[in-house]
Structure 1
Amino acid sequence: MTSPVNVIVLGAGCRGEILSKFASIHPTRMKVVAVADPRKFARTKLQQQHKIDNENVFEDWPRVVEREKFADAVLICTPDRLHKDPAVAFAKKGYHILLEKPLATTPEDCTAIVEACTQSGVMLSVGHVLRYDPVIHKIKELIDAGDLGEVIHIQHLEPVGFYHFAHSFVRGNWRNEAESSFALLSKSCHDIDLIHHWAGARRCVKVSSFGSVSHFQKKKKPTGAADRCLDCPVERDCPYSACKIYLDTVKQGHTGWPVSVICPSSFPDIESVTEALRTGPYGRCVYECDNDVCTNQVVNMEFEGGLTAAFSMVAFTEEICKRKTKICGSRGELSYDGDEIRVFDFLSQRSTKHTASSDVPCQFGLSGHGVADYHFIHAFISAVEKSDPSLIRSGPEETLMSHLLVFEAERSRLESRVVFCGDATRG
């Protein structure tokens, strides 16, 4: 393609805005031509950033899909439970699909999306952005090169971060399964996907999982604590205080995540943040919320050939989403500390360190998902430009398989038993 890839953004929140930055950095490669979001502030902000014509600004996605096809692709960044319908509709219309993770919130909806994209012959890229992190991608390259020999065991940890969990999964959009999805899907489908990816062609044959809602419960509320942090006499002694997480942050001049999330209709400043904490969900005491998703969970997996894997997700950590990985093979051991990879070779008994360079524009940031986000959207736009789906590192069938494994793991937790994958009757 010689002209930019024209994209439509559904959902102008944090993820939609971040991924759209690619168009500002590379205007000859990508152009945002339309936006749909029920929130006027969000859609107007994206419209102004990308100079979108008024006729292409919509309150909801059905109005977009009713029109004749007028773009190459759609970025679907709607809430988790609102993925399936737009994905299927736009796929049938012939749009290539970039879809935020998770794929959908039920196995049936996940399958429907993949089938619609396959039948329509459009590309599907789901937001497993960790696959696009250069250092994490290096792990797969080392496995495939045989540096570890036969992979025997994988250990993987996701430390969510104490205030990140309180923000997103106690007070925020992913706190309640009925409104979003369970934590293993909404937060950690990234990680189950990586383990599935590292296992290669070996299929997971059985899985077990344990987890619960720990600490963030009414019975753990400190004596004398109020229902809102602004009114709380013991707020100073609480590490989860909304005043500390949001007000202190904006006072220091920081207006990005997480304070940008709590003021969806205005720019975050001291006045708007204070009002949000006084009246909105993010000002609630963490012990008085309607949260019901797991704060800590473990998943044990056995793959064909005897490969075992253990995954842990925990809320109560200093580090935020800085994954830790250890992979044990027949010829060596790989350790990843969130920054670099170290491989110990059993034959030479020497260690080799591995890193991976990444030239990422500063607009995407250099921490968190910033590096991976850039490579994720870069790969998708490249795939559309070149009509080459191989540039997408998580194809539709593999994505569906890793999601189904997440659902099997959660079924194990809920039913307190080992689940034999693909067999709903064995126990």
Structure 2
Amino acid sequence: MKKIKLAVIGAGARGFLSYMPYVQRFPSEVEVVAVAEPSQERRTRFAEALNLTADQLYSTWEELLGKPKLCDALLICTQDQMHYEPTIAALRKGYHVLLEKPMSNSPSECVAMEAVAREEGRLLSICHVSRYTPFWQKMKQLIQDGSIGNVMSIQHNENVGYLHYAHSFVRGNWRNDTLSSPMILAKSCHDMDLIRWLVDADCAKVSSFGSLSHFRVENAPEGSTERCTDGCAVESTCPYSALRFYMQDTKANHFAALIADPPTETNRMKAILEGPYGKCVYRTDNNVVDHQTVNMEFENGVTVMFSMSGFTRDINRIVQIMGTKGEIRGDLLNGRIELFDFSSGTLSVIQIPRSQSGHQGGDDGIMRQFVSDLRHERYIDTLTSAQASLESHLMAFAAENSRLNGGALVDMKLFRQSFASNAAGTMPSDTAV
């Protein structure tokens, strides 16, 4: 069995913590031969964990891609706005790529990346890890098997969780769309992808509503301060207290481990005192929505209502799929799927076992599939190829376009054509690396 060799660009939470456990467990299948990461702390940690030598470490992706081709494929796990250039350069250099979602915060760049991958005959797979989870694969199977007849409509709720929302989208890297991406893309492109996959048809029309309503300075409680450590009068009772949240044991609260590297108590307190994670949630530079709905109609007549909210107890996805012969209800957090048959009136409950891998088994699942696709030279029409993911990205961009224009209806055919025509004749060539 051919061993697949990989290099990693971006050794943060996703590049290291999410995908490297698979490499460590299956050394006969896959090997990492290089890493590019600007943080020396992260480079050192990565090198020690993956047994890399000094000559296999790079501080920038340009440095790594400036070398003769090192391996079969790259994992690109940088921030949203840092995907396009290394991806194009890697594809042009002959690498296959596993790219963290979203592809880009620019629809034109998404279109171009997919086109270059196709032109070069390379596998560009997007980390829509949810498709690889046993929960969502069971959902897909039930639909394909005709268990509920023809799908008519779907209601899909993304419960972000109030603490997750405050950490990632008020204080964290995804708080401002000029630094990352709009919420519908940064967080909910997983959901757009799942919806497109379950419906199995192109989207025809999109409209969306939502706003940043709560986490604004005018809603700051009386007596609050710029930072939780500035003598805030309500810190002890505030649900978003940085001191209470981030000084918890990191094994009990994985978010606490993400604000400092390494996450010692001293380093975390320094991050609270000086960095964005200690700011009052009502006084940051955040601008992404804290709630949003998207309405969709697909070419096969299926209608979908998607709702994202930052004001929920749990981090969860709940879905209801309504068909001509029955109904499916799913609760991802509890791994519970209910199937109701109209003819017999019977309710069946399917319990999905909990996975130890991240994203309910999706992180392991995508690594396993990517390695298998490379080994068997499957470069097109894979489960989360750029070709498959582009449509759901465009759905997200269309939803944001609608939201910013008062909920105006977006015709997806015209929306797609506008980016296809813009990209024509402007295909990016080799970069300077």
TM-score range with shorter-chain normalisation?
over 0.9
**Counterpart Cα distance in 2 of 1:391 and 1:414:** 33
Secondary structure at the residue paired with 1:21?
helix
**Counterpart Cα distance in 2 of 1:164 and 1:150:** 36
The CA deviation string for residues 319-366 of structure 1, in whole angstroms up to 9 with x for no partner, is 01x1000000001100002212111111111112224457x5x5x35x
**Counterpart Cα distance in 2 of 1:357 and 1:275:** 40
| Paired letter, 1:211 | G
* 1:342 matches 2:338: yes
Find the counterpart in structure 2 of residue 261 from structure 1: 258
Gaps in structure 2 of 5+ consecutive residues: 418-433
Secondary structure at the residue paired with 2:414?
coil
Find the counterpart in structure 2 of residue 187 from structure 1: 187
Find the counterpart in structure 1 of residue 327 from structure 2: 333
Question: How far off is 1:36 after superposition?
Answer: 0.6
The CA deviation string for residues 279-320 of structure 1, in whole angstroms up to 9 with x for no partner, is 111010001100000000000001123210000000011101
Question: How far off is 1:425 after superposition?
Answer: 11
Q: Mapping of 1:19-418 within 5 angstroms?
A: 19-200=19-200, 202-231=201-230, 232-247=232-247, 249-250=248-249, 254=251, 257-264=254-261, 267-320=262-315, 322-338=316-332, 339-357=335-353, 362=356, 364=357, 369-389=359-379, 392-416=382-406, 417-418=408-409
The equivalent position to 2:410 in structure 1, one of 405, 419, 424, is: 419
Question: How far off is 1:255 after superposition?
Answer: 7.6
Secondary structure at the residue paired with 2:152?
strand
**Counterpart Cα distance in 1 of 2:373 and 2:301:** 35
Indicate conservation of the 8 Å contact 1:383/1:391, yes or no. no
Identity level (%): 40
RMSD (CA atoms)? 1.7
* 1:9 matches 2:3: no
**Counterpart Cα distance in 2 of 1:93 and 1:357:** 41
Question: How far off is 1:94 after superposition?
Answer: 1.3
Question: How far off is 1:67 after superposition?
Answer: 1.0
Q: TM-score, normalised by structure 1?
A: 0.93
Indicate conservation of the 8 Å contact 1:379/1:391, yes or no. no
The CA deviation string for residues 191-245 of structure 1, in whole angstroms up to 9 with x for no partner, is 0111111111x22111110000021000011111111112223201100110121
Question: How far off is 1:14 after superposition?
Answer: 0.2
**Counterpart Cα distance in 2 of 1:10 and 1:255:** 29
Indicate conservation of the 8 Å contact 2:148/2:324, yes or no. yes
The CA deviation string for residues 120-171 of structure 1, in whole angstroms up to 9 with x for no partner, is 1111210111101111111111111111111000000000000100000000
**Counterpart Cα distance in 2 of 1:357 and 1:215:** 37
Secondary structure at the residue paired with 2:236?
helix
Gaps in structure 1 of 5+ consecutive residues: none
Indicate conservation of the 8 Å contact 2:325/2:343, yes or no. yes
**Counterpart Cα distance in 1 of 2:360 and 2:151:** 30
**Counterpart Cα distance in 2 of 1:370 and 1:312:** 21
**Counterpart Cα distance in 1 of 2:151 and 2:32:** 43
Question: How far off is 1:388 after superposition?
Answer: 2.6
**Counterpart Cα distance in 1 of 2:244 and 2:208:** 34
Secondary structure at the residue paired with 1:289?
coil
Question: How far off is 1:260 after superposition?
Answer: 2.1
Secondary structure at the residue paired with 1:237?
coil
| Paired letter, 2:321 | I
Do the aligned partners of residues 36 and 161 (structure 1) sit closer, same or farther apart at CA in structure 2, a change above 3 Å counting? same
**Counterpart Cα distance in 2 of 1:39 and 1:151:** 48
Q: TM-score, normalised by structure 2?
A: 0.92
**Counterpart Cα distance in 1 of 2:385 and 2:339:** 28
**Counterpart Cα distance in 2 of 1:309 and 1:323:** 15
Indicate conservation of the 8 Å contact 2:398/2:415, yes or no. no
Question: How far off is 1:380 after superposition?
Answer: 0.8
Indicate conservation of the 8 Å contact 1:162/1:317, yes or no. yes
Indicate conservation of the 8 Å contact 1:255/1:269, yes or no. no
